[in-house]
Structure 1
Amino acid sequence: MTQDDVRFEIRGSAAWITLNRPERRNALSVELLDGVATALRTAEGDRAVRSVVFAGTGPMFCAGADLTRVLDELGGAGVTDFLRRAAGLFDQVARHPKPVIAAVHGGVVAGGLELVLACDLVLAARGATFADGHARYGMFPAAGGATRLPRRIGANRAKQLLFTAEGWSAQRMYEAGLVTEVVDDDRLAAAAQQLADRIGRLSPLGLARIKDVVDTGLERSLEDALAYELAACAEYTGSRDFAEGLRAFAARREPEFVGE
């Protein structure tokens, strides 16, 4: 699958979705959002795909929404519709049953940051910077930024980032808890692939259950979350992957998971 604004390719067990508008710093357009949504559905339907990696071409991961184009094509009234479309896409990313990795280089701003916030794991090049940026121009983070950011880095840090519109380094975002690993700029793609390969050797069904339990648990009381975790585990123990894991453990060999 190839589109002008979005590249989709399989590398090992990972589906790479690459934002490909370098001349616009990979700013989000309607076409790009639709291309990413299609790529995510393709990855979900491919049993051989065990994880998804987001990347960007050019000097920047994503500069946020292409507001100039949105205003020209949709007008002021269309901005809200565009934001709903973006929010829907980011929900699709967050709810994807397979682990989603963001490989961030250069800079990520506003809507680009909201895309990253919807991902499960975030690798960052050492030279990358993160910013919300909406407040600089009197705008509002309406596609998850004001909601997901405090859940990832805490309310105090989130407010500082949102209120000041300043850029934070990859290292600072690592210390805040959003970035899971900082790597040298020239190792970003290799590090993302290594992480995807590691995930690809594990049970896709088991990881899907774990992802669901983690995300659902954040929205429930501790008591309800623990009960949900136990129920999910009980269901998973009836799967072929669980049985294969036990056999492999007993035989002291690497398991071969099928995702069932």
Structure 2
Amino acid sequence: MDNQPIIYEKRNQTAWIYLNCPNDMNAISKALLLAFQEAIDRAEADEDIRVVVVSGKGKAFCAGANLKELMDDLETKHSKEPSLLELSEGLFGKLEKLRKPLIAALNGITLAGGLEIAMTADFIIASDKAKIGDAHANFGVLPGAGGAVKLPRKIGVNRAKYLLFTGEFISAADMKAYGLVQEVVSAEELETTVQTIADRISEKSPLVLRKMKELVTDGLEQPVEIALKQELLALKAHTRSYDMAEGLAAFTEKRKPVFEGY
């Protein structure tokens, strides 16, 4: 397991996916990307999994792309093997389309592609030891998975430009003040805190969680009046679901609901 680029663990109804290349600061390599995609597919397919957590082993969450592999791709442009960028596109597509709640648990350094992975999560919990930034400009590289597009939407245009242009990385506490990080806890408490949150979410209807995630994502890209109509239509359709009937029955009977996801 120590030699695997990704470690997959199931705890209660949560899938923990660890980036496991600590000697390379969990840099994004082709091997890691392939294993990461397999882990996402596994979590999505497992009906017992209701929450997915992504974290890292060692001192880093992820310090970005493996620049050596990126350079090798540039030198072998006509290779039939998929490039690092092509595999990255596949991974980010899966992360963006994941229907289950996704939590990023930032254990340490989170830069460039690592920040872009974190920004695919529904929310972020960070260790007080985490340092977060873009850093693409430090190596003459452009972001390709949301660094220049998502970061301004999450922390504001001026703050994002500052981090993008300077390549500086800042504390998790500062990122919490900017709104990117929801909670900052001690390194020792990170996994326990995240698991407690994941367990709380797992008690909710997976059908509701899936549809809520979809409504939020789609609603941000549409005029408010259209998004509101879609939300109302979703509610009308949801009134025929088992989970809504179960939730209302449990409320009436003063018991804890048992949701099935349909």
**TM-score surpassing 0.5?**
yes
Residue 161 (structure 2) aligns with: 159
Q: Is the 8 A contact 1:133 1:165 kept in 2?
A: yes
* RMSD of aligned residue pairs (Cα, Å): 1.9
2:55 aligned with 1:52: no
The Cα offsets for residues 74-100 of structure 1, whole Å up to 9 and x where unpaired, read as 636489942242133123112211000
2:114 aligned with 1:150: no
SS of residue in 2 equivalent to 1:70: helix
Residue 29 (structure 2) aligns with: 29
2:14 aligned with 1:14: yes
Displacement of 1:2 after TM fit? 9.4
1:133 to 132, 135, 148: 135
Q: How does 1:219-230 map to 2 (within 5 A)?
A: 219-230=221-232
If the length of structure 1 is used for normalisation, what is the TM-score? 0.95
SS of residue in 2 equivalent to 1:145: coil
Query: In structure 2, what residue type is equivalent to 1:59?
Result: K
Displacement of 1:172 after TM fit? 0.7
Structure 1 gap segments, 5+ residues each: none
Residue 175 (structure 1) aligns with: 177
SS of residue in 2 equivalent to 1:141: coil
Residue 64 (structure 1) aligns with: 64
SS of residue in 2 equivalent to 1:103: strand
Q: How does 1:109-258 map to 2 (within 5 A)?
A: 109-258=111-260
The Cα offsets for residues 147-171 of structure 1, whole Å up to 9 and x where unpaired, read as 1112221222211111111111101
SS of residue in 2 equivalent to 1:254: coil
C-alpha separation in 2, matches of 1:243 and 1:42: 30
Q: Is the 8 A contact 2:69 2:84 kept in 1?
A: no
The Cα offsets for residues 199-223 of structure 1, whole Å up to 9 and x where unpaired, read as 1100011000000000111110111
Q: Is the 8 A contact 2:105 2:125 kept in 1?
A: yes
The Cα offsets for residues 156-198 of structure 1, whole Å up to 9 and x where unpaired, read as 2211111111111101111111101111111001111111101
SS of residue in 2 equivalent to 1:246: helix
SS of residue in 1 equivalent to 2:142: coil
C-alpha separation in 1, matches of 2:155 and 2:89: 20
SS of residue in 2 equivalent to 1:220: coil
Structure 2 gap segments, 5+ residues each: none
Displacement of 1:3 after TM fit? 7.3
C-alpha separation in 2, matches of 1:76 and 1:14: 40
Q: Is the 8 A contact 1:5 1:20 kept in 2?
A: yes
SS of residue in 1 equivalent to 2:148: helix
SS of residue in 2 equivalent to 1:18: strand
Say how many residue pairs are matched: 260
Query: In structure 1, what residue type is equivalent to 2:212?
Result: I
C-alpha separation in 2, matches of 1:228 and 1:88: 29
Residue 107 (structure 2) aligns with: 105
Q: Is the 8 A contact 1:101 1:123 kept in 2?
A: yes
Query: In structure 1, what residue type is equivalent to 2:30?
Result: V
If the length of structure 2 is used for normalisation, what is the TM-score? 0.94
Q: Is the 8 A contact 2:61 2:107 kept in 1?
A: yes
- The worse-fitting range, judged by mean Cα deviation, of 155-164 and 195-204 is 155-164
**Aligned in 2, Cα 1:78/1:199: closer, same or farther, shift over 3 Å?**
farther
**Aligned in 2, Cα 1:168/1:240: closer, same or farther, shift over 3 Å?**
same
